[in-house]
Structure 1
Amino acid sequence: MTASPVDTGQSGGTLADQAYRAVSDRLVTLRIRPGEPLNDERIAAELGFGRTPVREALKRLEHERLIVSYPRRGTFATEVQIADLGHISEVRKELEPLAARIAAQRAGKDDRAALDRLLARLADVSDSGTTDLIRLDMAVHRALYAATRNPYLEDTLIRYDNLATRIWCLFLDRLPGLAGHVHEHGPLLRAVIDADAEKAEALAAAHVEGFEAAIRGVI
């Protein structure tokens, strides 16, 4: 566990928040492999935190289905179940377009500036490594969700994007065009920045559908 958490613009917070982001990042990108055991004492030592914030973070991660605890057995990263793809996609097909439309309508000056910076980063994705591309993809989603100014919608979508990204990472070696998948966020970001709610909604819907189709194409 040595990589830095994904840059989502949510630095700081309580120690439990920081521990959550650090461990969540490793679980989502499969640096902690599915089925791998997690030990709160070891994690606390590696992160430089006490065990209490780490335990709080693990409780949150269990609620989000990223880890599972068994009495007398311990805590483990959840397995990635490809059978869950349909369930996850059902939710994302409804909420991702909604979030994009709302973000285009509600995003403030700071939100649009953050999205504009991400748009600039997307211009260089062809030179990025796999890990950087995944982190950029996650950062784009987080920024769009934050721009909705709806914390309940934001939290829900982060949870489902995490689960979808785990599935994506599981098949990375069989999925072509990761850079292209990430780069297609460009028009979506531009639509939100330009307050074009209808276009943003349509692009988000197409992105989620394309994601599911790509996964189903290799399983």
Structure 2
Amino acid sequence: MPTRQVDESFADFAYRVLCDELIVLDIKPGEPLNDEVISRRLGVGRTPIREAMKRLEGDHLVVAYPRRGTFAAGVDITDLAEISEIRHLLEPAAAARAARMASPQLRQEIKEFAREVGELLPVMHSQRDLMRLDMRVHRMIYRATGSRHLEDVLIRYDNLATRIWSLVLEKLPPVSEHIAQHIELLECIAEGDSEAAARLTTKHVTDFENLIKAVL
């Protein structure tokens, strides 16, 4: 179980843990989410749990039904085309903006993270761990855009895409090569090359869609 960060509210902690579990399908689609059970499991009061549930509902990760309760949202493979279309529009623009807008401190952080990704990939064999590394890269890029509104939208659609990825994860070949594309992308963003960042991101999103389609 992850631990709550010092500056993290109980609601934010509950949201972070539940969001991760929903994305990687540790909480299965259609599974009920009981706030009392979750409260005991996380050691968090029921009010923060309910706050987290509201946020998750807004993210389309859970569905609440009157008098029935709250359930993990289903994963519809047919959503892939629509999600991919939106990501094709937003992700390259976000990468280009990150290359233009990232602060010097953040550029250094991105360079160091690119090296970390290169070091982790040869020793990381779990498909689920690789998936979480991919999510970390995307979150870094979204943060570098400097736009909270754009970051929120990108995270929402990346979460939905990753749920589809999780659904077919065991059918996929090792995805380390797919994630290795991020190293050059992060380096381009750190160097301020917005055109290359947009081009590489377009390829990455296209490759992701093709990877999923190949096993459907």
Query: Considering the TM-score relative to the shorter chain, is it more than 0.5?
Result: yes
Contact 1:111/1:143 (<8 A) preserved: no
| Compared CA separation, residues 105 and 215, structure 1 to 2 (3 A) | same
Corresponding position of 2:185 = 188
Which residue of 61, 66, 82 corresponds with 1:66? 61
- The letter for the 2-side match of 1:154 is E
**Counterparts in 2 of 1:43 and 1:103: CA distance versus 1, 3 Å:** same
Q: What is the CA distance between 1:178 and its match in structure 2?
A: 1.1
Give CA deviations for 1:104-163 in whole Å, capped at 9, x if unaligned.
001112322332232122112121122321111111100100000000000000000000
**Residue 171 of structure 1: which of 168, 171, 182 is its match?**
168
Contact map agreement 1:12 1:18 (CA 8 A) in 2: no
Structure 2 alignment gaps of length 5 or more: none
Task: For residues 2-52 of structure 1, give each alpha carbon's deviation from its aligned partner in whole angstroms, at most 9, with x where no partner exists.
Answer: 3x38xxxx9843221121111101100111111111111111111111111
Structure 1's consecutive aligned runs of 4 or more residues displaced over 4 angstroms after TM superposition are none
Structure 1 unaligned segments of length 5 or more: list them: none
> Identity of counterpart residues, as a percentage?
49
1:125 matched to 2:121: yes
Deviation at 1:99, TM superposition (A): 0.4
**CA displacement at 1:190 relative to structure 2:** 0.6
1:110 & 1:22 partners in 2: Cα distance?
28
| Residue among 182, 202, 206 paired with 1:205 | 202
Map 1:89-168 onto structure 2 (within 5 A). 89-123=84-118, 124-128=120-124, 129-168=126-165
Paired residue secondary structure (1:184): helix
* Kept after mapping to 2: 8 A contact 1:104/1:196: yes
Match of 1:37 in 2: 32
Instruction: Check the 8 A contact 2:127/2:174 in 1, yes or no.
Output: no
Q: CA deviation at 1:98?
A: 0.5
Q: Distance in 2 between matches of 1:127 and 1:38?
A: 35
Tell me whether 111-120 or 14-23 shows the greater mean CA deviation. 111-120
The SS at the match of 2:162 is helix
CA deviations over 1:64-102 (Å, ceiling 9, x no partner) = 110001122211111110011111111100000000000
Task: Supply the RMSD in Å over aligned alpha carbons.
Answer: 1.5
Secondary structure of the equivalent of 1:69? strand
Count of aligned pairs between the two proteins: 213
